[in-house]
Structure 1
């Protein structure tokens, strides 16, 4: 299969080349030149087996084709349970990996792919990644001490949770954390500029591990596929989804899985006060804006990169795209109230991002929504103890893997929100 840029100004490449590059030369995002036809995806006993079947058409004829089942087994070796909440409501828990966030799945898959592509190459590859909280730690954990790879993580200083910041700076070795005096959008813009800098890449081979990377996006379809197939097999009903979203990678994966024939019903997006997407899906123009800080900081994105892929999937037809998805914004006061009420009424513990989806589902039910719905739980609430614990009046248990990371010393270098400053770091 060949892959092209969403902007149409770059030559088609194979999957390995698209994964290694991260971003197309014209600044666009890689997408298949033609989507595989919808087919009956085989539900494996494990998520990894489902993933290998779902992803096989994308890897057909590529150097990574034979390694695909192994990469899936390495990346998807922890549970992603669909847990019932009652009344046809479920929560799809994606936070049981090493850094307690859904980003672990895509990051570990990408690491498995790139480690194989780097084998035998004489020059190190630098992964440069912007994070609004969870991506950076997942990427750092996936690539930590991997030979031939250096990781540079940019995050907005003061706009991630304390535990997220600790995770980002606690790895050392081949992982370098940079705390940027700016927003996530500043970090993302600097990363994109670096990936498009041909002169820099001549000296420092670069790739990306943001959700702009196909190596992150494609495997994220797997947990939606497995959950929906298991649910459909048991109940003969499609599973509807409410997906918390910032940069749109996780939501794009759900939409793509549905397009490929997975029995997923409606897909509704939940955002925080950064409401670029809700405004668009209500009929307004798509208008990126400066991001604002919220308690659901991993979704503090004012220019979601994967919107380009959504528009590509629907051939730029805004009416068709708006018919396929809905999006709703939830403010900080309501996010906090949702966390508190969920715990008080049912003992549930949700992170701020998951709570946005819980609130959106509650509103959908109040408006008469029928069927079975799953809220996508993107991170463990222990990563946001400063927000969650005062609301529930007790400590949130910390998963063992996260506790181990928090015991390590952490360090991050300050960096101006200036591309020249980042370029200098990358050239060291």
Structure 2
């Protein structure tokens, strides 16, 4: 598999290099040079999740990793289901919260850990990543206890849910967590500064586990196929998918699935008040505002890192960005949407509620709608209980971590301090 740096197309790397390196020159994102078109979609959709994913990722990655080794990586990573649930007439939820950390990022995080363990070579590796909520837990649990791999996770202090924080800040061992006194974009900026420091990169073997790492992105392609497999052939012909969008890795994965040949009619990018992309699609002006804290904190991103990959896919496929739907909800509208879902008998959380509501408003006659449920409602226990006036029991995966003490360090958004921390 050959990949190129979107900012500097002459910088070309293999899949293994892209996994190890994370980012290219000038923080450029790596992207596949070619994406095959699969002609046997119906045959693929008839297969179980793991077997189908082995064929999809095999077609994308090619023969760089021996088939038996790649198949084992996928089998070890995808150990949980992604069921589709009916929510309303012609509207379905793809539930991506049945993994060990109860969020969609378990798919990408676990596959990346398998990939890095396979292609790492010699020497120490330090995973440095920023999280607005769920990435931290997925990465921490995927890499916990792996030999010679150190993980450092930055997150905005006080801006993720207490249960999200407990899930990844109580592990210790090779997992270090740092609460930054700033917002997610500041955490992301610190990660980028670290990758621009060549000496630091070489000294500690720096790598990123955010959705900017191509291995995570490719893993996410697989659950779009899994969703389609659970719908009828007729429903698949007019399928509209609403994606709760923060850093836009999830939407990018869906667009790759469509490029491979999965019959998705159109996508909708659903955001909260951090609505840089919906405004851009309406005006053509890229004008990020300051990031604001919302109920749907994993989407509190005003400068989405994966957006260049979205534009690259539209350009390469000859698609028009005017065909990409979008919408944004504020917190009051999110609460209303969550209540509407619950009244129909479906318990969700703020991110999924936004994707559901925007989809409901834009779905046309004869279309089948699918929205992504990216996290278990219990991860947002306080807000969901308040909004719906219910009591939510904690799943065992959350309950055991909720009883443990936080092990996080605290730091200002200061790269000099972070650099020293990484080197110690």
Quickly name the TM-score band, shorter chain normalised: over 0.9
- Asked whether the 8 Å contact 2:46–2:229 carries over to 1, the reply is no
Tell me which of 361, 364, 379 is aligned to 1:363. Answer: 361
- Asked whether the 8 Å contact 1:98–1:402 carries over to 2, the reply is no
Larger displacement relative to structure 2 (64-73 or 322-331) = 64-73
CA deviation digits over 1:176-207, x for unaligned, max 9? Answer: 00000111001111111212211112211011
Match of 1:300 in 2: 300
1:363 & 1:58 partners in 2: Cα distance?
A: 35
Match of 2:92 in 1: 90
Match of 1:191 in 2: 191
- Asked whether the 8 Å contact 2:96–2:375 carries over to 1, the reply is yes
TM-score scaled by length of structure 1: 0.94
- Asked whether the 8 Å contact 1:209–1:216 carries over to 2, the reply is yes
> Is the partner of 1:314 in helix, strand or coil?
helix
Q: Alpha-carbon deviation of 1:311?
A: 1.6
Q: Alpha-carbon deviation of 1:35?
A: 2.3
- Asked whether the 8 Å contact 1:159–1:183 carries over to 2, the reply is yes
Match of 1:391 in 2: 387
- Asked whether the 8 Å contact 2:155–2:180 carries over to 1, the reply is yes
Matches within 5 A, 1:18-33: 18-33=18-33
2:128 & 2:306 partners in 1: Cα distance?
A: 18
Gaps of 5+ in 1: none
Matched, 1:351 2:349: yes
Match of 1:379 in 2: 375
1:294 & 1:321 partners in 2: Cα distance?
A: 30
2:198 & 2:49 partners in 1: Cα distance?
A: 38
2:304 & 2:34 partners in 1: Cα distance?
A: 23
- Asked whether the 8 Å contact 1:156–1:184 carries over to 2, the reply is yes
Matches within 5 A, 1:193-208: 193-208=193-208
Q: Alpha-carbon deviation of 1:44?
A: 5.3
Q: Alpha-carbon deviation of 1:362?
A: 2.2
Match of 1:325 in 2: 324
> Is the partner of 2:231 in helix, strand or coil?
helix
2:35 & 2:47 partners in 1: Cα distance?
A: 26
Distance 1:155 1:88, change over 3 A: same
Q: Alpha-carbon deviation of 1:309?
A: 0.6
Matches within 5 A, 1:224-263: 224-233=224-233, 235=235, 237-263=237-263
For the aligned residues, what is the CA RMSD?
Answer: 1.8
Match of 1:43 in 2: 45
CA deviation digits over 1:250-292, x for unaligned, max 9? Answer: 1110111011101222111110000101001113312233211
Larger displacement relative to structure 2 (44-53 or 179-188) = 44-53
Larger displacement relative to structure 2 (407-416 or 381-390) = 407-416
Distance 1:193 1:369, change over 3 A: farther
> Is the partner of 2:265 in helix, strand or coil?
strand
Larger displacement relative to structure 2 (248-257 or 195-204) = 195-204
- Asked whether the 8 Å contact 1:106–1:217 carries over to 2, the reply is yes
